[in-house]
Amino acid sequence: MATDPPLVRPPASIAATIASRAEVSGRRVFSSQRVDELFTRTVGLGTIVFGAQAIVIGLLDPSSTARPGGVVVMVVMAAAILWLLVASLRLRGMRIASLILCWLYVIVLVLWPFVVDTPGAETQEPWVWYLLTVAGACAVYAMSIRAAVVYTLVSPMLYGVVRASTNAPDQWTLGVFDASYGIIIGLVVLVVGVTFRRSAVGVDLARDAALARYDEAVRLHAVEAERVEVDAIVHDSVLAALQAADRAASPAQARAATALAVKALAHFRDAGLAPIDSDAVVTTGELASALATAAVSMERTIAVSSLGTRERVVPSVVAEAMVLAATQAMQNSIQHAGRDAVERAVTVRATGPSAVEITITDDGEGFDPAQVEPGRLGVRVSIVERMASIGGAAVVDSAVGRGTTVRLSWAPPRAGDRT
Protein backbone atom coordinates (compact mmCIF):
# COMPACT_ATOMS: atom_id res chain seq x y z
CA MET A 1 0.00 0.00 0.00
CA ALA A 2 1.42 3.36 -1.03
CA THR A 3 2.09 5.91 1.64
CA ASP A 4 2.45 9.65 1.44
CA PRO A 5 6.02 10.98 1.37
CA PRO A 6 7.31 12.23 4.72
CA LEU A 7 6.90 15.89 5.45
CA VAL A 8 10.02 17.95 4.87
CA ARG A 9 11.20 19.49 8.11
CA PRO A 10 12.35 23.07 7.53
CA PRO A 11 16.02 23.45 8.48
CA ALA A 12 17.23 25.87 11.08
CA SER A 13 18.46 28.45 8.59
CA ILE A 14 16.00 29.54 5.91
CA ALA A 15 18.72 31.45 4.05
CA ALA A 16 20.82 28.26 3.94
CA THR A 17 17.83 26.36 2.53
CA ILE A 18 17.38 28.86 -0.28
CA ALA A 19 21.08 28.84 -1.17
CA SER A 20 21.38 25.04 -1.07
CA ARG A 21 18.26 24.47 -3.15
CA ALA A 22 19.44 26.94 -5.78
CA GLU A 23 22.89 25.29 -5.85
CA VAL A 24 21.52 21.73 -6.13
CA SER A 25 18.85 22.43 -8.71
CA GLY A 26 21.06 24.79 -10.71
CA ARG A 27 18.16 27.04 -11.48
CA ARG A 28 16.33 30.04 -10.16
CA VAL A 29 13.99 29.15 -7.31
CA PHE A 30 10.47 30.34 -8.02
CA SER A 31 9.23 31.81 -4.72
CA SER A 32 11.90 31.54 -2.02
CA GLN A 33 14.59 33.38 -3.97
CA ARG A 34 12.22 36.22 -4.80
CA VAL A 35 11.18 36.54 -1.14
CA ASP A 36 14.84 36.43 -0.13
CA GLU A 37 15.65 39.22 -2.61
CA LEU A 38 12.78 41.31 -1.25
CA PHE A 39 13.96 40.68 2.32
CA THR A 40 17.51 41.64 1.30
CA ARG A 41 16.38 44.92 -0.25
CA THR A 42 14.18 45.70 2.77
CA VAL A 43 16.98 45.08 5.28
CA GLY A 44 19.34 47.20 3.18
CA LEU A 45 16.84 50.06 2.92
CA GLY A 46 15.99 49.94 6.63
CA THR A 47 19.65 49.86 7.56
CA ILE A 48 20.55 52.94 5.54
CA VAL A 49 17.49 54.89 6.80
CA PHE A 50 17.91 54.13 10.50
CA GLY A 51 21.68 54.05 10.22
CA ALA A 52 21.83 57.52 8.73
CA GLN A 53 19.46 58.75 11.44
CA ALA A 54 21.64 57.20 14.15
CA ILE A 55 24.89 58.68 12.78
CA VAL A 56 23.37 62.16 12.44
CA ILE A 57 22.02 62.03 16.00
CA GLY A 58 25.40 60.80 17.24
CA LEU A 59 27.24 63.63 15.50
CA LEU A 60 24.86 66.20 17.02
CA ASP A 61 25.24 64.74 20.52
CA PRO A 62 28.30 66.32 22.22
CA SER A 63 28.65 63.44 24.66
CA SER A 64 29.06 60.96 21.81
CA THR A 65 31.87 62.84 20.08
CA ALA A 66 33.65 64.32 23.09
CA ARG A 67 36.05 61.39 23.26
CA PRO A 68 38.05 60.04 20.29
CA GLY A 69 36.70 56.57 20.98
CA GLY A 70 33.14 57.73 20.35
CA VAL A 71 34.09 59.10 16.92
CA VAL A 72 35.92 55.88 16.02
CA VAL A 73 32.92 53.78 17.03
CA MET A 74 30.60 55.86 14.85
CA VAL A 75 32.98 55.69 11.88
CA VAL A 76 33.23 51.91 12.15
CA MET A 77 29.44 51.52 12.40
CA ALA A 78 28.95 53.87 9.43
CA ALA A 79 31.35 51.72 7.37
CA ALA A 80 29.46 48.55 8.33
CA ILE A 81 26.16 50.19 7.36
CA LEU A 82 27.50 51.25 3.97
CA TRP A 83 28.92 47.77 3.37
CA LEU A 84 25.54 46.20 4.10
CA LEU A 85 23.82 48.68 1.77
CA VAL A 86 26.16 47.79 -1.10
CA ALA A 87 25.69 44.06 -0.43
CA SER A 88 21.89 44.45 -0.49
CA LEU A 89 22.02 46.32 -3.80
CA ARG A 90 24.36 43.75 -5.39
CA LEU A 91 22.54 40.79 -3.78
CA ARG A 92 25.95 39.37 -2.95
CA GLY A 93 27.75 39.00 0.38
CA MET A 94 24.65 40.05 2.30
CA ARG A 95 24.88 37.31 4.92
CA ILE A 96 28.47 38.15 5.85
CA ALA A 97 27.71 41.88 6.00
CA SER A 98 24.66 41.22 8.20
CA LEU A 99 26.62 39.01 10.61
CA ILE A 100 29.38 41.61 10.91
CA LEU A 101 26.87 44.37 11.67
CA CYS A 102 25.10 42.18 14.27
CA TRP A 103 28.23 41.38 16.26
CA LEU A 104 29.74 44.82 15.75
CA TYR A 105 26.61 46.29 17.33
CA VAL A 106 27.07 44.06 20.38
CA ILE A 107 30.69 45.20 20.65
CA VAL A 108 29.59 48.84 20.41
CA LEU A 109 27.09 48.31 23.26
CA VAL A 110 29.82 46.84 25.44
CA LEU A 111 32.22 49.71 24.67
CA TRP A 112 29.56 52.42 24.85
CA PRO A 113 29.99 53.30 28.57
CA PHE A 114 33.73 53.78 27.99
CA VAL A 115 33.52 56.03 24.90
CA VAL A 116 30.63 58.34 25.90
CA ASP A 117 31.47 61.49 27.87
CA THR A 118 29.36 62.25 30.98
CA PRO A 119 26.63 59.70 30.24
CA GLY A 120 23.28 60.24 31.90
CA ALA A 121 23.14 63.98 31.36
CA GLU A 122 20.32 63.62 28.85
CA THR A 123 17.15 61.55 28.72
CA GLN A 124 16.73 61.42 24.96
CA GLU A 125 17.48 58.22 23.09
CA PRO A 126 21.18 57.81 22.25
CA TRP A 127 22.26 57.11 18.67
CA VAL A 128 22.86 53.39 19.27
CA TRP A 129 19.17 52.97 20.08
CA TYR A 130 18.18 53.53 16.45
CA LEU A 131 20.34 50.58 15.35
CA LEU A 132 18.74 48.06 17.72
CA THR A 133 15.97 47.01 15.34
CA VAL A 134 18.36 47.05 12.38
CA ALA A 135 20.73 44.65 14.13
CA GLY A 136 17.80 42.38 14.99
CA ALA A 137 16.64 42.31 11.35
CA CYS A 138 20.16 41.45 10.23
CA ALA A 139 20.20 38.59 12.74
CA VAL A 140 16.91 37.26 11.34
CA TYR A 141 18.37 37.44 7.85
CA ALA A 142 21.75 35.82 8.48
CA MET A 143 21.41 33.53 11.50
CA SER A 144 19.59 30.31 12.14
CA ILE A 145 16.17 30.68 13.69
CA ARG A 146 17.32 29.69 17.18
CA ALA A 147 20.32 32.00 17.07
CA ALA A 148 18.12 34.84 15.78
CA VAL A 149 15.67 34.31 18.67
CA VAL A 150 18.52 34.43 21.19
CA TYR A 151 19.98 37.56 19.57
CA THR A 152 16.56 39.26 19.46
CA LEU A 153 16.15 38.70 23.19
CA VAL A 154 19.70 39.27 24.40
CA SER A 155 20.71 42.37 22.42
CA PRO A 156 17.82 44.57 23.73
CA MET A 157 18.54 43.33 27.26
CA LEU A 158 22.20 44.24 26.84
CA TYR A 159 21.17 47.66 25.56
CA GLY A 160 18.84 48.13 28.53
CA VAL A 161 21.55 47.23 31.02
CA VAL A 162 24.07 49.55 29.40
CA ARG A 163 21.52 52.36 29.12
CA ALA A 164 20.51 52.03 32.77
CA SER A 165 24.12 51.96 33.92
CA THR A 166 25.00 55.12 32.04
CA ASN A 167 22.01 57.16 33.20
CA ALA A 168 21.27 58.85 36.46
CA PRO A 169 20.13 56.44 39.18
CA ASP A 170 16.53 57.58 38.93
CA GLN A 171 16.51 56.92 35.14
CA TRP A 172 16.99 53.14 35.21
CA THR A 173 13.37 52.73 34.11
CA LEU A 174 14.37 54.11 30.70
CA GLY A 175 16.65 51.14 30.15
CA VAL A 176 13.92 48.66 31.08
CA PHE A 177 11.39 50.42 28.87
CA ASP A 178 13.76 50.59 25.89
CA ALA A 179 14.74 46.91 26.28
CA SER A 180 11.09 45.82 26.41
CA TYR A 181 10.23 47.88 23.36
CA GLY A 182 13.25 46.52 21.46
CA ILE A 183 12.30 42.92 22.26
CA ILE A 184 8.73 43.42 21.05
CA ILE A 185 9.78 45.04 17.78
CA GLY A 186 12.52 42.46 17.25
CA LEU A 187 10.12 39.55 17.77
CA VAL A 188 7.68 41.06 15.29
CA VAL A 189 10.44 41.32 12.66
CA LEU A 190 11.53 37.77 13.47
CA VAL A 191 8.04 36.29 13.12
CA VAL A 192 7.28 38.14 9.89
CA GLY A 193 10.63 37.33 8.29
CA VAL A 194 10.65 33.65 9.23
CA THR A 195 6.99 33.16 8.30
CA PHE A 196 7.36 34.65 4.83
CA ARG A 197 10.58 32.82 4.05
CA ARG A 198 9.35 29.47 5.35
CA SER A 199 6.12 29.87 3.40
CA ALA A 200 8.10 30.62 0.24
CA VAL A 201 10.27 27.52 0.72
CA GLY A 202 7.11 25.49 1.28
CA VAL A 203 5.61 26.82 -1.94
CA ASP A 204 8.74 25.82 -3.86
CA LEU A 205 8.78 22.35 -2.33
CA ALA A 206 5.11 21.86 -3.14
CA ARG A 207 5.68 23.12 -6.68
CA ASP A 208 8.59 20.73 -7.22
CA ALA A 209 6.52 17.85 -5.88
CA ALA A 210 3.62 18.81 -8.16
CA LEU A 211 5.93 18.90 -11.19
CA ALA A 212 7.35 15.49 -10.27
CA ARG A 213 3.86 14.07 -9.95
CA TYR A 214 2.87 15.68 -13.24
CA ASP A 215 5.87 14.10 -14.99
CA GLU A 216 4.94 10.74 -13.53
CA ALA A 217 1.31 11.17 -14.62
CA VAL A 218 2.43 12.07 -18.14
CA ARG A 219 4.69 9.01 -18.25
CA LEU A 220 1.93 6.71 -17.01
CA HIS A 221 -0.51 8.23 -19.49
CA ALA A 222 1.94 7.66 -22.33
CA VAL A 223 2.49 4.06 -21.23
CA GLU A 224 -1.25 3.46 -21.06
CA ALA A 225 -1.81 5.09 -24.45
CA GLU A 226 0.91 2.93 -25.98
CA ARG A 227 -0.57 -0.19 -24.38
CA VAL A 228 -3.98 0.57 -25.82
CA GLU A 229 -2.46 1.27 -29.24
CA VAL A 230 -0.41 -1.92 -29.16
CA ASP A 231 -3.45 -3.94 -28.11
CA ALA A 232 -5.41 -2.51 -31.03
CA ILE A 233 -2.62 -3.23 -33.53
CA VAL A 234 -2.11 -6.75 -32.20
CA HIS A 235 -5.82 -7.50 -32.32
CA ASP A 236 -6.62 -5.89 -35.66
CA SER A 237 -3.44 -6.55 -37.63
CA VAL A 238 -1.02 -9.02 -36.10
CA LEU A 239 -3.54 -11.69 -35.14
CA ALA A 240 -5.26 -11.30 -38.49
CA ALA A 241 -1.94 -11.78 -40.28
CA LEU A 242 -1.05 -14.80 -38.15
CA GLN A 243 -4.44 -16.38 -38.72
CA ALA A 244 -4.19 -15.75 -42.46
CA ALA A 245 -0.73 -17.28 -42.57
CA ASP A 246 -1.94 -20.31 -40.60
CA ARG A 247 -4.86 -20.88 -42.96
CA ALA A 248 -2.98 -20.16 -46.20
CA ALA A 249 -3.39 -23.17 -48.46
CA SER A 250 -2.57 -21.59 -51.81
CA PRO A 251 -0.04 -19.11 -53.25
CA ALA A 252 -2.77 -16.45 -53.43
CA GLN A 253 -3.64 -16.89 -49.75
CA ALA A 254 0.06 -16.80 -48.88
CA ARG A 255 0.44 -13.49 -50.73
CA ALA A 256 -2.61 -12.14 -48.90
CA ALA A 257 -1.09 -13.19 -45.56
CA THR A 258 2.18 -11.49 -46.52
CA ALA A 259 0.30 -8.31 -47.37
CA LEU A 260 -1.41 -8.39 -43.98
CA ALA A 261 1.97 -8.85 -42.28
CA VAL A 262 3.42 -5.89 -44.18
CA LYS A 263 0.41 -3.82 -43.17
CA ALA A 264 0.88 -4.81 -39.51
CA LEU A 265 4.55 -3.73 -39.63
CA ALA A 266 3.48 -0.44 -41.19
CA HIS A 267 1.10 0.08 -38.28
CA PHE A 268 3.97 -0.47 -35.84
CA ARG A 269 6.15 1.96 -37.77
CA ASP A 270 3.43 4.63 -37.86
CA ALA A 271 2.93 4.20 -34.11
CA GLY A 272 6.65 4.85 -33.52
CA LEU A 273 7.22 1.24 -32.40
CA ALA A 274 9.33 -0.07 -35.25
CA PRO A 275 12.83 -1.17 -34.25
CA ILE A 276 15.72 1.07 -35.24
CA ASP A 277 17.19 -1.59 -37.52
CA SER A 278 13.91 -1.94 -39.43
CA ASP A 279 14.23 -2.26 -43.20
CA ALA A 280 12.31 0.99 -43.82
CA VAL A 281 14.77 3.80 -44.57
CA VAL A 282 14.69 7.49 -45.51
CA THR A 283 17.37 9.37 -47.46
CA THR A 284 18.96 12.54 -46.16
CA GLY A 285 17.43 14.37 -49.12
CA GLU A 286 13.96 13.21 -48.09
CA LEU A 287 14.76 14.21 -44.52
CA ALA A 288 15.69 17.73 -45.69
CA SER A 289 12.50 17.90 -47.79
CA ALA A 290 10.39 16.96 -44.76
CA LEU A 291 12.05 19.70 -42.71
CA ALA A 292 11.54 22.21 -45.53
CA THR A 293 7.85 21.31 -45.59
CA ALA A 294 7.65 21.80 -41.81
CA ALA A 295 9.50 25.14 -42.08
CA VAL A 296 7.03 26.45 -44.67
CA SER A 297 4.20 26.07 -42.18
CA MET A 298 6.02 28.18 -39.57
CA GLU A 299 5.17 31.82 -38.82
CA ARG A 300 8.67 33.03 -39.66
CA THR A 301 11.04 32.37 -42.53
CA ILE A 302 13.43 29.49 -41.88
CA ALA A 303 16.06 28.53 -44.44
CA VAL A 304 16.56 24.78 -44.85
CA SER A 305 19.66 23.43 -46.59
CA SER A 306 21.35 20.08 -47.10
CA LEU A 307 25.13 19.61 -47.08
CA GLY A 308 26.96 16.71 -48.65
CA THR A 309 25.27 13.81 -50.35
CA ARG A 310 21.49 13.56 -50.23
CA GLU A 311 21.46 9.81 -50.82
CA ARG A 312 22.62 8.54 -47.43
CA VAL A 313 19.89 6.60 -45.68
CA VAL A 314 18.71 6.36 -42.05
CA PRO A 315 15.91 4.27 -40.52
CA SER A 316 12.52 5.83 -40.97
CA VAL A 317 11.80 5.79 -37.24
CA VAL A 318 15.01 7.78 -36.69
CA ALA A 319 14.08 10.24 -39.43
CA GLU A 320 10.61 10.70 -37.93
CA ALA A 321 11.97 11.39 -34.44
CA MET A 322 14.59 13.82 -35.76
CA VAL A 323 12.01 15.71 -37.83
CA LEU A 324 9.73 16.02 -34.79
CA ALA A 325 12.62 17.18 -32.55
CA ALA A 326 13.84 19.68 -35.18
CA THR A 327 10.29 21.00 -35.65
CA GLN A 328 10.04 21.55 -31.89
CA ALA A 329 13.37 23.42 -31.95
CA MET A 330 12.10 25.65 -34.79
CA GLN A 331 8.90 26.38 -32.87
CA ASN A 332 10.91 27.23 -29.75
CA SER A 333 13.03 29.65 -31.81
CA ILE A 334 9.95 31.39 -33.18
CA GLN A 335 8.36 31.68 -29.74
CA HIS A 336 11.37 32.70 -27.68
CA ALA A 337 14.12 34.14 -29.91
CA GLY A 338 12.62 37.61 -29.61
CA ARG A 339 13.29 40.18 -32.31
CA ASP A 340 11.43 40.13 -35.63
CA ALA A 341 14.68 40.34 -37.61
CA VAL A 342 16.04 37.05 -36.25
CA GLU A 343 17.76 34.87 -38.84
CA ARG A 344 16.95 31.18 -38.56
CA ALA A 345 18.47 28.28 -40.45
CA VAL A 346 18.22 24.49 -40.50
CA THR A 347 21.03 22.37 -41.95
CA VAL A 348 20.92 18.64 -42.68
CA ARG A 349 24.32 16.99 -43.05
CA ALA A 350 25.32 13.37 -43.56
CA THR A 351 28.17 12.66 -41.15
CA GLY A 352 28.74 9.02 -42.09
CA PRO A 353 27.42 6.13 -44.20
CA SER A 354 24.23 6.03 -42.09
CA ALA A 355 24.79 8.92 -39.70
CA VAL A 356 23.09 12.29 -39.90
CA GLU A 357 23.18 15.62 -38.06
CA ILE A 358 20.57 18.38 -38.05
CA THR A 359 21.52 21.85 -36.84
CA ILE A 360 18.92 24.50 -35.97
CA THR A 361 20.35 27.96 -35.37
CA ASP A 362 19.13 31.49 -34.73
CA ASP A 363 20.78 34.78 -33.73
CA GLY A 364 18.03 35.80 -31.33
CA GLU A 365 18.06 36.68 -27.66
CA GLY A 366 19.25 33.26 -26.49
CA PHE A 367 18.79 31.85 -22.98
CA ASP A 368 20.59 30.02 -20.19
CA PRO A 369 19.72 26.29 -20.50
CA ALA A 370 20.51 25.79 -16.81
CA GLN A 371 17.72 28.21 -15.89
CA VAL A 372 14.96 26.41 -17.83
CA GLU A 373 12.17 25.48 -15.44
CA PRO A 374 11.65 21.69 -15.13
CA GLY A 375 7.98 22.19 -15.96
CA ARG A 376 8.95 23.37 -19.46
CA LEU A 377 8.88 20.12 -21.44
CA GLY A 378 9.66 21.49 -24.92
CA VAL A 379 13.44 21.05 -24.72
CA ARG A 380 13.75 18.24 -22.21
CA VAL A 381 11.03 15.91 -23.51
CA SER A 382 10.32 16.90 -27.12
CA ILE A 383 13.98 17.30 -28.08
CA VAL A 384 16.48 15.73 -25.67
CA GLU A 385 14.50 12.71 -24.50
CA ARG A 386 13.03 12.10 -27.95
CA MET A 387 16.53 11.87 -29.43
CA ALA A 388 17.69 9.67 -26.55
CA SER A 389 14.80 7.26 -27.23
CA ILE A 390 16.25 6.45 -30.68
CA GLY A 391 19.84 6.27 -29.51
CA GLY A 392 20.73 9.76 -30.69
CA ALA A 393 21.84 12.92 -28.95
CA ALA A 394 20.65 16.50 -28.66
CA VAL A 395 22.90 19.38 -27.61
CA VAL A 396 21.47 22.83 -26.85
CA ASP A 397 24.09 25.58 -27.01
CA SER A 398 22.77 28.99 -26.02
CA ALA A 399 23.57 32.02 -23.92
CA VAL A 400 21.75 35.26 -23.28
CA GLY A 401 22.48 37.69 -26.10
CA ARG A 402 24.21 35.32 -28.54
CA GLY A 403 21.46 33.18 -30.03
CA THR A 404 20.76 29.46 -29.85
CA THR A 405 22.08 26.39 -31.65
CA VAL A 406 20.45 22.96 -31.35
CA ARG A 407 22.36 19.97 -32.76
CA LEU A 408 20.55 16.69 -33.31
CA SER A 409 22.78 13.75 -34.21
CA TRP A 410 22.30 10.04 -34.79
CA ALA A 411 24.64 7.27 -35.83
CA PRO A 412 23.94 3.53 -36.04
CA PRO A 413 25.20 1.53 -33.06
CA ARG A 414 28.50 -0.22 -33.55
CA ALA A 415 28.57 -3.99 -33.72
CA GLY A 416 30.11 -4.22 -30.27
CA ASP A 417 27.25 -2.10 -28.80
CA ARG A 418 24.47 -4.42 -29.96
CA THR A 419 22.97 -6.73 -27.35
Q: Is the pLDDT of residue 219 over 80?
A: no
Inside any domain, residue 275? no
Longest dimension (CA), the chain: 122
Higher pLDDT, residue 176 or 8: 176
Inside any domain, residue 276? no
> Whole-angstrom Cα distance, residue 416 to residue 33?
48
Tell me how far CA of residue 353 lies from CA of 76, 83, 309, 350, in angstroms.
73, 63, 10, 8
For residue 406, list its beta bridge partners: 360, 396
Domain count within the chain: 3
Higher pLDDT, residue 274 or 211: 211
- Indicate the residue among 209, 230, 245 that finishes a domain: 209
Are residues 171 and 317 both part of a single domain? no
For residue 347, list its beta bridge partners: 305, 359
Tens digits of residue pLDDT in 387-413:
887 888 888 888 888 888 999 998 887
Average pLDDT over residues 116-123: 53
Are residues 343 and 236 both part of a single domain? no
Burial classification of residue 393, based on how many CB atoms lie within 10 Å of its CB (0-12 exposed, 13-18 middle, 19 or more buried):
middle
What 3-state DSSP class applies to 376? coil
What letter would DSSP give residue 126?
P
Residues 6+ apart with CB under 8 A from 27: 370, 371, 372, 373, 374
Range of the domain at 38: 14-209
Q: Is the pLDDT of residue 416 over 80?
A: no
* C-alpha neighbours within 13 Å on the C-beta side of residue 115: 20
What letter would DSSP give residue 102?
H
CATH value at residue 304: 3.30.565.10
Inside any domain, residue 5? no
Inside any domain, residue 7? no
Are 139 and 151 a contacting pair, CB within 8 Å? yes
Q: Is the pLDDT of residue 13 over 50?
A: no
Are residues 56 and 171 both part of a single domain? yes
pLDDT bracket for residue 234 (50, 70, 90): low
Are residues 58 and 160 both part of a single domain? yes
Are residues 119 and 247 both part of a single domain? no
For residue 350, list its beta bridge partners: 356
Are residues 235 and 117 both part of a single domain? no
Are residues 205 and 221 both part of a single domain? no
Tell me how far CA of residue 101 lies from CA of 43, 115, 135, 142, 182, in angstroms.
12, 19, 7, 10, 17
Provide long-range contacts, Cβ within 8 A and 24+ apart, for 190-197. Answer: 190/136, 190/140, 190/148, 190/149, 190/152, 193/39, 193/137, 193/140, 193/141, 194/14, 194/140, 194/145, 194/148, 196/35, 196/39, 197/14, 197/15, 197/18, 197/32, 197/35, 197/36, 197/39
What 3-state DSSP class applies to 192? helix
Residues 6+ apart with CB under 8 A from 163: 126, 129, 174, 175, 178, 179
| pTM of the full structure | 0.46
Helix (H) or strand (E) holding 40: helix 32-60
Are residues 245 and 334 both part of a single domain? no
Q: What is the pLDDT of residue 232?
A: 54
Of 88-102, 184-198, 338-352, 372-386, least confident by mean pLDDT is 372-386
Tens digits of residue pLDDT in 134-184:
888 888 888 888 888 899 899 888 888 887 776 555 567 777 888 888 888
Are residues 364 and 231 both part of a single domain? no
Are 160 and 194 a contacting pair, CB within 8 Å? no
Are 245 and 257 a contacting pair, CB within 8 Å? yes
Tens digits of residue pLDDT in 325-379:
888 888 888 877 776 678 889 999 988 777 899 999 988 888 877 776 655 556 7
- pLDDT averaged over every residue in the chain: 76
